[in-house]
Structure 1
Amino acid sequence: MKKSIYTAGFIIFLFIMFSSSVEAQARKEYGAPLGTYEGDQGVKIVSFSKNWTSQEKLKSIYDELLKNFHGEELNFLSTIYIYPDSPDGVAGNYFEDYDINSEGKYVYKKGRYIEIFNGDQYKDVSQLAWVLSHEYGHHFTLYYLLTKENKHFNQWEQTKYAKIRGLTNYKEVEYYSVNDTGYIHKWDVAEIAAEDYVQLFGSPTAKKSVDYKDVKERVEQNIKDYYYSTDSFNLLPQENLSIPLAADVPGLYLYWLRMAGYTTVEPTLPTKPTLTIKKVGEIMPGYPQYEISWEPISDGKNYEYTLISYPVDDNHFPRPVKTVVTGEPMRAYIGSAVSRNKDTNNLILDDQYKGEYYFRLFIKDPKGFMFSTEPIKFKFEEISKKPLYLMTDVPDHHWAKEAITTVVDHDIAKGYEDGSFKPENKVTKAEFMTMLIRSTDHKLTKKNNEDHWFVKQGYFDAAKKMKLVSEADYGTNFSKLKYDDTLTRDEMAAMVGNFLKYLGYTNSVGQNFNFSDAKNIQHKKELGIAFYYSILSGYPDRTFRPSGKVTRAEAAAIITKLLKLTGG
């Protein structure tokens, strides 16, 4: 008598165990069940999860089970256990058991059961539908292999299943046993069979699709990225993309169906589209956009097309490109896109395709069978691109929009990785001096043995040569100059005045400023120069506010005035 456990999950491990008794039994460490439901077919749903306690919710799991194709094998399943967490780090387990009679025939035993983990993470039956279908797939495929072919998966090379599926053509295929090492889940024959079951016989809920958007739509709708989950059947119909999808294998559907005592028509597609990829241009220098197009299947039926991609050397986690349905344009865009609508001002999205990629279509027919086109390879050209700072938080009506755009375009100031500029953030002393220096063609001398970027990149030496700061203000050897302290308006006046003097602009107005707080201004001479050339000004209430802090937007406006004055 033999007991095996098949497990399923995003990262999945499979264990084989031997036992003398494997009737359905709950894990003792979870205590008493929080809810139990028994359906009219005799299968019990037993829950230890707080999310699955009511008869209504437990019945929904039972009903979902029956939406998967089933035959006589259902009579050998007794219980589905729902647990709140996953002590073994898996999504589900299936427990098999059988005898071998005196004639050498396998005899499947009743009382089989399934464990579904992470119940506390599932709020709706749709979230666990794939795991349930996959585990039932273990039950279905092993039952008929044993009872109709008298073969176990450890004899897989001798089965009609392996011949039809073409599994002997792949040296990586194996059946996992307690002596195996280097186990690779996607090449386990029992797991391949269970995934075949989901594709061919799984419920519509287990095979539900995600409506993926291409780069143009994502930038308009502010969708940053997609992540794989078991809800994404149309992104990854099966874990192993190195072998054909189940519906693409002639005879595979009818093989399992006949073993269950049924027959029907083989699922096929009349034609399979061919993909075409072309570069349509660059949305800005170094940021290309590509169009992928194909012809629709024209037989009067409605199909769903999901375009996916993956690097040529790694097909483990495909990247979704777009989902379209019959009647929609058969094209998708990848690469870069930009939007200038009022909600996502100047937002860019860059898919970062580098090197060689495969592209293929997963096509779902009206009955839910999934087919695949042949992958096509495309090599993306190497393009040098500079960082983009798109001021997503600087709308068109912002008072400093033009100035911010100017300093960013001239590489004088930079934005943040999230695309923002943060115009109301305060500027530090080091940042403002750096902006002044970058607005000239001054050559920097780096000092790699220094820690602070302002010194290390040579900006401090440049500031001293330009006399933007003085020891009179900041002490001997500038000991009182704190690079990261916020810049005051008085300090800004000193730096701007000194900068103008360095460039040869020395005219000034009288020192008797008509400011109510003029007595608090320390750098009147430098402020006079900045006033003369209309670089700085005061406030409408006749104040200068020398101790006020300077924002990034204000700094950008000042630098832009200097550029216009100097023609820089």
Structure 2
Amino acid sequence: PTTAPTTAPTTAPTTAPTTASTTTPTPALFFNEKVDLDVVKAIVEKAKSTPALAFKDVSKDSPNAKAIEVATRLGIITGYSDGSFHADATVTRAEFATMLLKALGLEAKDPSNFKDVKDHWASDAISGLKASSITNGYSDGTFKPNNSISRAEIAAMLAAVINPNLTKETKFKDILGNWAEAEINMLSDMGIVKGTVDGLFKPNANATRSEALLMILRMLNISLDFSLDIE
């Protein structure tokens, strides 16, 4: 009688099935886990269809006019009730906290963890940065919201948002030994902060509104593949 075939039955293919792409996505620059880059991108996308605000004291050829326009589209700033921006005015710690919170799309928190901002107009914004470990205030438990913010203080807050590859190489001749020296050096390497033509950073100088705004936008721009036209 006819014998059974000796050929083994066809086995399952030995080639592994095609798998999903193994390409590792480019990691987000923001290391702070409370900052969601997708939220930031959504804010930027919405800004494309948002009209910019015009300020009577900011002409198209004014320094940082581009940055100010982008910031109004992003909802970071609104200016003053009289239609002015006051680009060269100093910015308070409360004002900067509010600008930074909006730029990062973080949620405001209530109540505040600082004993001197409980009833302050920026209490929720300040608390939001505290909850995200972006600011810890002062050792006495205060935030000093109405004090003008220094350039070094801004550097410290921004360094608490982005990947902290701190460097000991001093970039400016007037920051050696400064409490925020490493943060300033890192932000300088990344192009987020810049000094004067004579090699100074002036860490203790009060930041102007346009300076503070530009530093925030430069930080965002790095994570957004430089898609913002700010300078």
Asked whether the two chains share a fold, i.e. TM above 0.5, the reply is: yes
Displacement after TM superposition at 1:407 (Å) = 0.8
Counterpart for residue 216 of structure 2: 559
1:489, 1:548 within 8 Å by CA — same for their partners in 2?
yes
Counterpart for residue 33 of structure 2: none
Displacement after TM superposition at 1:494 (Å) = 0.8
Q: Which amino acid aligns with 2:120?
A: H
Instruction: Establish whether residue 470 from structure 1 lines up as the match of residue 127 from structure 2.
Output: no
1:389, 1:420 within 8 Å by CA — same for their partners in 2?
no
Q: Mind listing any 5+ residue stretches in structure 2 that lack a counterpart?
A: 1-49
Q: Which amino acid aligns with 1:451?
A: D
For residue 490 of structure 1, give the secondary structure of its aligned residue in structure 2: helix
Identical positions, percent: 27
For residue 519 of structure 1, give the secondary structure of its aligned residue in structure 2: coil
For residue 496 of structure 1, give the secondary structure of its aligned residue in structure 2: helix
Instruction: Establish whether residue 536 from structure 1 lines up as the match of residue 198 from structure 2.
Output: no
Displacement after TM superposition at 1:521 (Å) = 2.2
Counterpart for residue 232 of structure 1: none
Aligned counterparts, 1:474-489, within 5 A? 474-476=138-140, 478-479=141-142, 481-489=143-151
- After superposition, give the CA deviation of every residue in 1:397-428 in whole Å (9 maximum; x if it has no partner): 11200000111111111211221111111111
382, 390, 395: which one aligns with 2:54? 390
- Distance verdict in 2 for CA 1:464–1:447, change over 3 Å: closer
Counterpart for residue 158 of structure 2: 496
1:429, 1:483 within 8 Å by CA — same for their partners in 2?
yes
Instruction: Establish whether residue 506 from structure 1 lines up as the match of residue 172 from structure 2.
Output: no
Aligned counterparts, 1:312-327, within 5 A? none
Counterpart for residue 126 of structure 2: 460
2:108, 2:125 within 8 Å by CA — same for their partners in 1?
yes
- Distance verdict in 2 for CA 1:423–1:512, change over 3 Å: same
406, 409, 415: which one aligns with 2:73? 409
Aligned counterparts, 1:55-454, within 5 A? 389-447=53-111, 450-454=118-122
1:433, 1:495 within 8 Å by CA — same for their partners in 2?
no
Counterpart for residue 139 of structure 1: none
Q: Aligned partners of 1:519, 1:506: CA distance in 2, in Å?
A: 19
Displacement after TM superposition at 1:447 (Å) = 4.1
Displacement after TM superposition at 1:542 (Å) = 1.0
Counterpart for residue 6 of structure 2: none
2:174, 2:200 within 8 Å by CA — same for their partners in 1?
yes
Q: Which amino acid aligns with 1:409?
A: R
Instruction: Establish whether residue 545 from structure 1 lines up as the match of residue 209 from structure 2.
Output: no
Counterpart for residue 42 of structure 2: none
Q: Aligned partners of 2:51, 2:118: CA distance in 1, in Å?
A: 25
Counterpart for residue 25 of structure 2: none
TM-score by length of 1: 0.29
Q: Aligned partners of 2:149, 2:217: CA distance in 1, in Å?
A: 18
2:171, 2:185 within 8 Å by CA — same for their partners in 1?
no
Instruction: Say which is worse superposed, 491-500 or 510-519, in terms of deviation.
Output: 510-519
Q: Which amino acid aligns with 2:202?
A: R
For residue 453 of structure 1, give the secondary structure of its aligned residue in structure 2: coil
Q: Aligned partners of 1:565, 1:514: CA distance in 2, in Å?
A: 20
For residue 553 of structure 1, give the secondary structure of its aligned residue in structure 2: helix
Q: Aligned partners of 2:209, 2:189: CA distance in 1, in Å?
A: 23
Q: Which amino acid aligns with 2:158?
A: V
Q: Aligned partners of 1:420, 1:548: CA distance in 2, in Å?
A: 23
2:152, 2:180 within 8 Å by CA — same for their partners in 1?
yes
- Distance verdict in 2 for CA 1:399–1:389, change over 3 Å: same
C-alpha root-mean-square deviation of aligned residues, in Å? 2.5
- Distance verdict in 2 for CA 1:401–1:387, change over 3 Å: closer
1:407, 1:559 within 8 Å by CA — same for their partners in 2?
no
Q: Aligned partners of 1:534, 1:430: CA distance in 2, in Å?
A: 25
Q: Which amino acid aligns with 1:461?
A: S
Q: Aligned partners of 1:428, 1:390: CA distance in 2, in Å?
A: 22
Determine which structure has greater relative contact order: mean sequence separation of CA pairs < 8 Å that are 6+ residues apart, divided by chain length.
2
Q: Aligned partners of 1:540, 1:388: CA distance in 2, in Å?
A: 32
516, 522, 537: which one aligns with 2:173? 516
Q: Aligned partners of 1:514, 1:531: CA distance in 2, in Å?
A: 7
Q: Which amino acid aligns with 1:485?
A: N
Q: Which amino acid aligns with 2:84?
A: S
- Distance verdict in 2 for CA 1:528–1:557, change over 3 Å: same
Q: Which amino acid aligns with 2:170?
A: F
Displacement after TM superposition at 1:519 (Å) = 2.7
- Distance verdict in 2 for CA 1:419–1:434, change over 3 Å: same
- Distance verdict in 2 for CA 1:454–1:387, change over 3 Å: farther
TM-score by length of 2: 0.67
Counterpart for residue 376 of structure 1: none
2:68, 2:210 within 8 Å by CA — same for their partners in 1?
yes
Q: Aligned partners of 1:412, 1:541: CA distance in 2, in Å?
A: 31
Q: Which amino acid aligns with 1:491?
A: E
